[in-house]
């Protein structure tokens, strides 16, 4: 097994994202060129076909976990700045977040049940629309596999970030609060990051919805799962 210095993995990840973001902007922010997609695909290929030590990658990129936590906390700033917009439509925001949370869990369970999936897989997929840290804790409490839950969460976030905005546009939803709620509820942190890229109001709505959805799912899913 080939061992690469953790610091090199950190630099490589930053470089990959920088290049992907540059391409994304140059092509007019097309969905297929989303900056999260290319680095993810390249890293998957590297670890799939080369005998590389994954522990070294985890060690080198652990700082991103800390940065993610700080970033989520920093979202309090746009959330505070846009509080008047959210309070103005508070009933609609709460109702949409609740509906999206329920739909996220039920759609995953319905599809896996129709396909005859085992309970372990159903439990892992049910947490697809919450952030990875919450998913890896909530999934085992109902019989799921943390690693599988994390993978499903990441794929869900990528799909929402890439296809969510054009899909909402196709539906005629041009309200920034509505778009933010949709991206944050369905796409958790990755969807929220896409919302933040677009506007402060959209990012604030996404941050609120992501937090409420993650907390509600983590608390209620273990209670209703049986």
User: 52-71: per-residue pLDDT in tens?
Assistant: 888 888 888 888 877 766 76
In angstroms, rounded to a whole number, what is the distance separating the alpha carbons of residues 124 and 136? Answer: 9
Residue 31: other Cβ atoms inside 10 A? 14
- Name the one residue in this structure whose structure tokens are 């958790």: 188
**Which residues make beta-bridge pairs with 2?**
52
Do 80 and 191 sit in the same domain of this protein? yes
Do 81 and 52 sit in the same domain of this protein? no
The pLDDT assigned to 200 comes to 81
Does residue 1 register a pLDDT over 60?
A: no
Run of H or E including 194: helix 176-198
Do 171 and 90 sit in the same domain of this protein? yes
The mean pLDDT value for 41-54 works out to 87
Do 120 and 194 sit in the same domain of this protein? yes
Reported as a pLDDT band with limits 50, 70 and 90, residue 183 is very high
Do 111 and 47 sit in the same domain of this protein? no
Domain that holds residue 132: 76-224
Reported as a pLDDT band with limits 50, 70 and 90, residue 102 is confident
3-class state of residue 2 by DSSP = strand
The pLDDT assigned to 23 comes to 92
Q: Does residue 176 lie in a domain region?
A: yes
Q: Does residue 71 lie in a domain region?
A: no
């Amino acid at each position: 097994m080939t061992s690469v210095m953790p610091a090199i993995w950190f630099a490589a990840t930053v470089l990959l994202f920088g290049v992907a973001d540059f391409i994304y902007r140059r092509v007019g922010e097309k969905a297929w060129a989303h900056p999260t997609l290319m680095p993810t695909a390249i890293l998957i290929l590297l670890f799939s076909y080369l005998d590389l030590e994954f522990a070294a990658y985890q060690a080198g990129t652990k700082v991103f976990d800390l940065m993610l936590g700080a970033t989520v906390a920093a979202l309090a700033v746009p959330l505070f700045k846009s509080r008047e917009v959210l309070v103005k439509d508070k009933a609609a925001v709460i109702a949409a977040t609740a509906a999206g949370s329920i739909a996220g869990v039920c759609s995953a369970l319905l599809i896996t049940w129709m396909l005859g999936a085992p309970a372990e897989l159903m439990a892992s997929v049910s947490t697809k629309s919450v952030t990875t840290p919450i998913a890896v804790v909530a999934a085992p409490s109902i019989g799921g596999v943390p690693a599988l839950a994390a993978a499903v969460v990441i794929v869900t976030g990528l799909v929402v970030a890439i296809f969510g905005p054009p899909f909402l546009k196709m539906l005629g939803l041009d309200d920034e609060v509505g778009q933010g709620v949709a991206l944050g509820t369905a796409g958790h942190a990755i969807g929220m990051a896409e919302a933040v890229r677009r506007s402060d109001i959209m990012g604030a709505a996404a941050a609120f919805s992501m937090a409420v959805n993650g907390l509600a799912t983590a608390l209620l899913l273990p209670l209703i799962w049986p």
